[in-house]
Amino acid sequence: MVLVLCLIPCACAKTQGGGTAQKGESAGVNKSDTITLLYSMSDSFNPYESITDQNRRITKLIFEPLVKIDDNFNAVFCLAKDIKPEGTACTVTLRSAQFSDGSTLTADDVVYSFKAAKASKSLYATRLYEIKSAQAVDSNTVVFNLTKTDPYVANLLDFPIFKAESDKLTDEDSVKLVPLGCGRYVFNDEKTELVQNKKYYGKQGVVKKIRLINAPDSESVAHYVEIGAADIYFNDISDGEIFRMSGQKFDINLNNLVYIGINHNVDDLGSFMLRQAISSALNREAVCSNAFYNNAVPAKGFYNPVWEPVKSVQNIQTLPNSQITVENLEEIGYNSLDGEGIRYRGGRSLRFSLLVNKENRSRVQAAEIIAAQLLEYGIKLTVVKVSFAEYQRRLKNSEFQLYLGEVNFTENMDISSLVVPGGSAAFGVKSTPQQVIEGEIAPMTAADIVNSFYKGEAEITDVVAALQTEMPVIPVCYRTGVLFCKDGIKNVGGASQNDIFLKIDSYKLK
């Protein structure tokens, strides 16, 4: 979200401290030690209060978390020296570090920042959903208490750390100051640009200064990107639109799954064999290239395909498999074709509606492509395009047969909300209860196994196998974002959605 303000054309753009950036100076890298980024003057640099994408990303340069998440969703230790999850507790040992004022980082600062994150309306509050509390055991150790066992809880510890109480500091005019962080950069004395933090614990590269240009709304962001005023620009293409800039382009992995949701209470959609048939009929590669213009990767399972723990066990095919599709359809009795070439059995034919949000261009195109693909196998989908508000209403009231959705998973890869009945995104998902057959208990459902995993009683490989068999929803693809960078900046690779400046210490400027 961005604040909508008027963009007033003028010969120069004001910076945060009242300084100016001349038009001619702002285009591209100006010095061998300086880059230029966009920000919003009217927004905060407190990481739990900032609301614009520009400022949220810049806060990553000012504050350090316990960990950052790389482009393959691995935790990279920052202020944490060691992390040990054990049952419903996670113990973190801190590295030796200082805030920008020279004071020492302590466990109390981490606990204070955790509480600020949990109490905020920011995305960090959502990501800390399974962490109930934090306590300082000593000056160097923090214990986080969890609601459930989670071996990947470290990936949630990316909330920014600032010095306790420093978020309450104000200037002589009672204006809040930027809290004190341990990050790579701080504001200079004039508050006009970011400069390297001399107290930073880690490696520092050639980018000594970061100039900021005020871009308060999407229109001004588009303008500055178009004229080349910004040196680095990231877009997650969430609405299917993208501002392009000349220079280098890098694909950034997102943990956003595009999937076909299913109302299990409708006809044979409750049959896993029909869901398997629909899945195997999909050409996921074509959806990625034609609907998302290659800003997506085909789903090979329910988890992101770049995530190492599941790479060797996810095996959903990305191209259609007509043999599996036809065999499954015939196994459940759809052996005949009507006059339109649609499969049927008795008085029931494979005709369904596919609900989609008409305000998202890419997903509308994806829905139409999927409908065309399934028609080749005698499954007719009628794409129903509605407003986002109506789309949400129908999902909540189960007024759908199929729908095309997108969900952003937290970095600990918890997909419970989508596949476990009752989850916040598990619209229409129904889990068949265990039944006793001839004295034996029927195999556990996918939901059962997911729940067992979060009790420490199952492995991630068990979860993968169960989900791919039961197919409560049908994974289509994982979207990617794009990072644009001026040609004068080299070694930008290694960025991630979690921190697009993850490798700023390795940049080379020309």
- pLDDT given at position 21: 41
Common-topology check for domains 13-62+181-252+484-504 and 253-480: no
SS (H, E, C) 465-508: HHHHHHCCCEEEEEEEEEEEECCCEECCCCCCCCCCCCCHHHCE
The yes-or-no verdict on residue 164 having pLDDT over 50 is: yes
Tell me the residue length of the chain: 510
Segment 338-341 long-range contacts (CB within 8 Å, at least 24 positions apart): 340/380, 341/375, 341/378
Q: What is the mean pLDDT of residues 153-160?
A: 98
pLDDT class of 431 with cuts at 50, 70, 90: confident
**Separation of CA 319 from chain center:** 25
Question: Distance between CA 498 and CA 97 in Å, rounded?
Answer: 21
- pLDDT given at position 432: 63
Question: Distance between CA 135 and CA 112 in Å, rounded?
Answer: 9
Q: Which two three-digit tokens encode residue 353?
A: 């509606």
Secondary structure (3-state) at 147 = coil
Q: What is the mean pLDDT of residues 163-175?
A: 94
Mean pLDDT taken over the chain: 91
**176: DSSP letter:** B
Window from 12-26, 169-183, 197-211, 273-287 with minimum mean pLDDT = 12-26
- pLDDT given at position 443: 72
Fold of 67-156: Dipeptide-binding Protein; domain 1 (3.90.76)
Beta strands 351-357 and 402-408 are parallel
pLDDT class of 9 with cuts at 50, 70, 90: very low
SS (H, E, C) 386-416: ECHHHHHHHHHCCCCCEEEEEEECCCCCCCH
Domain ranges of the chain: 13-62+181-252+484-504, 67-156, 253-480
Secondary structure (3-state) at 162 = strand
Q: Are 452 and 460 in contact (CB under 8 A)?
A: no
Tell me the CATH class for 253-480: alpha beta
Fold of 13-62+181-252+484-504: D-Maltodextrin-Binding Protein; domain 2 (3.40.190)
415-432: b or e for each residue (b if 16 or more CB lie within 10 Å)?
A: bbebbbeebebbbbbbbe
Q: What is the mean pLDDT of residues 242-264?
A: 92
The yes-or-no verdict on residue 338 having pLDDT over 50 is: yes
